[in-house]
């Protein structure tokens, strides 16, 4: 018959698509096919979260928020008793036995489950949100089948069975009265579906393009750990209308915005935020920026362009990086009093003269933008000490007599009987 697909071709296409493979040759088994394929469905039945790659089985009824390992019972499907060999000459079984079973949760499911996603004894009857995880996500997702005696029925057993994870239907090609599946265990999907909350799922080998102006949407990245990337190239990404932007990336994941990104609501970042290039906080002078914790600024120059600078602390610590080992050199405050000349701005400085061990002033000779360790004083600040004691005939320079320290740059005034005045320069 022209343009009619043979039974072998139809079988190859159907079965291989179910197990995630494209048909390139009817002579190839599904494991020999190298090109993947999927059944295309709407977002209400598509996993929004990728089932975890399992290194070992979870404990029974344990879950990780995406999958839950559960016990299941198998009930025969009516109208599926027939002689396999009569219907399919390649089948081995000649007994009239049941070929299909439907999976259901145990009657005490909610007793052991911490999720309570479904009712006790819930049966997989094509319900969109009741799906098991297929073995395409890893061999540990192959369901465990047990017969009435509790003996495991392996995937290589002669009954040649296939489990449809979407519908929960177990098909047996060659039924054997001595090997009848009655119970077992499988992994139930308990995560969200793609249609929930307007989520657009993005896999590591796929990309999502949203045309036009998109609002009120969430973009969730669900790929292999360390390989997730959300790339926005050009245009405008607008998360307005109080829509939340939630991105939980593994190590080395990226959010790249090549263009503009406007966030018209709240943007919460848990963890470290690294931003390269220039950063502007606020768009007008009336905007307020609040930093709840400590602020560390690493660089050569910090510019504060404001009309008023209010500092709550009563003391300002300069040269704080020195610690116990003070860096030699002068230090103080410079007030710019003139414009720039040859790239230098000059001003008046109040500073500590390290070499003279005293406070000093200088005018029009200090580089207001400089970061050097030296300044030349024009005026030296002196101190006056008043005491009732009378020093010796020659008060000791740099000495201590009667509680008075004698040092350069000091006046000594004796308000006692001697009425002496001593100047140390």
Confirm whether pTM is higher than 0.75.
no
Which range of 92-101, 174-183, 380-389, 404-413 scores highest in mean pLDDT? It is 174-183
Separation of alpha carbons 412 and 201, rounded Å: 83
Contact 248, 230 (CB under 8 A): no
The answer on pLDDT for 159 being more than 80 is yes
Residue, of 331 and 132, whose pLDDT is higher: 132
Which range of 150-154, 229-233, 250-254, 262-266 scores highest in mean pLDDT? It is 150-154
Provide the pLDDT confidence category of residue 199 given band limits of 50, 70 and 90.
very low
Residue, of 40 and 352, whose pLDDT is higher: 352
Dig out the tokens for 48 from the structure: 């929004």
Q: Which residues contact 131 (CB under 8 A, 6 or more apart)?
A: 45, 47, 124, 165, 166, 168, 188, 189
What length does the chain have? 425
Dig out the tokens for 358 from the structure: 């005293």
255-313 pLDDT, tens digit each: 556 556 666 667 777 777 777 778 888 778 888 888 888 888 888 888 888 888 899 99
- pLDDT recorded at residue 72: 96
Provide the pLDDT confidence category of residue 404 given band limits of 50, 70 and 90.
low
State the sign of the Cα–Cα–Cα–Cα dihedral 33, 35, 39, 45. positive
Q: CA 189: distance to chain centroid?
A: 24
162: β partners = 171
- pLDDT recorded at residue 140: 94
152: β partners = 146
The answer on pLDDT for 44 being more than 90 is no
> What is the per-residue burial (b if ≥16 Cβ within 10 Å, else e) of 215-228?
eebebbbbbeeeeb
Hey, how many other C-beta atoms are within 10 angstroms of the C-beta on 176? 16
């Amino acid at each position: 018959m022209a343009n009619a697909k043979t039974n072998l071709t139809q079988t190859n296409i159907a079965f291989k698509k179910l197990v995630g493979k494209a048909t390139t040759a009817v002579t190839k088994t599904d494991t020999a096919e190298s090109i993947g394929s999927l059944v295309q469905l709407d977002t209400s039945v598509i996993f929004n979260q990728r089932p975890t790659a399992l290194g070992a089985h979870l404990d029974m009824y344990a879950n990780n928020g995406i999958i839950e390992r559960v016990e299941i019972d198998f009930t025969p499907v009516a109208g599926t008793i027939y002689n396999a060999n009569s219907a399919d000459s390649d089948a081995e079984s000649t007994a009239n036995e049941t070929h299909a079973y439907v999976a259901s949760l145990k009657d005490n499911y909610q007793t052991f489950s911490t999720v309570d996603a479904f009712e006790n004894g819930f049966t997989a009857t094509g319900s969109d949100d009741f799906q098991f995880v297929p073995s395409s996500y890893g061999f540990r997702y192959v369901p465990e089948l047990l017969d009435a005696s509790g003996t495991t029925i392996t995937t290589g057993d002669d009954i040649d069975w296939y489990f449809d994870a979407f519908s929960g239907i177990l098909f047996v090609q060659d039924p054997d009265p001595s090997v009848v599946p009655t119970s077992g265990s499988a992994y139930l999907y308990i995560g969200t579906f793609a249609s929930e909350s307007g989520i657009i799922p993005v896999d590591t080998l796929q990309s999502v393009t949203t045309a036009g102006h998109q609002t009120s949407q969430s973009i969730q990245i669900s790929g292999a750990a360390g390989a997730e990337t959300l790339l926005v190239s050009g245009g405008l990404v607008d998360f307005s209308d109080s829509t939340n932007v939630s991105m939980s990336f593994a190590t080395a994941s990226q959010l790249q915005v090549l263009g503009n990104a406007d966030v018209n609501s709240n943007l919460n970042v848990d963890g470290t935020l690294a931003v390269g290039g220039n950063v502007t906080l606020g768009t007008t002078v009336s905007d307020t920026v609040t930093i709840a914790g400590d602020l560390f600024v690493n660089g050569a120059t910090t510019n504060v362009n404001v009309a008023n600078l209010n500092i709550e602390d009563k003391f300002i610590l300069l040269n704080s990086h020195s610690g116990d080992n003070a860096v030699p050199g002068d230090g103080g405050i410079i007030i710019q009093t003139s414009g720039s000349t040859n790239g230098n701005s000059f001003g008046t400085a109040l500073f500590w003269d390290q070499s003279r061990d005293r406070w000093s002033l200088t005018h029009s000779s200090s580089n207001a933008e400089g970061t050097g360790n030296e300044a030349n004083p024009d005026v030296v600040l002196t101190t006056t000490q008043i005491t009732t004691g009378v020093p010796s005939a020659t008060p000791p320079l740099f000495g201590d007599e009667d509680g008075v320290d004698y040092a350069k740059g000091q006046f000594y005034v004796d308000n006692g009987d001697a009425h002496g005045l001593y100047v140390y320069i």
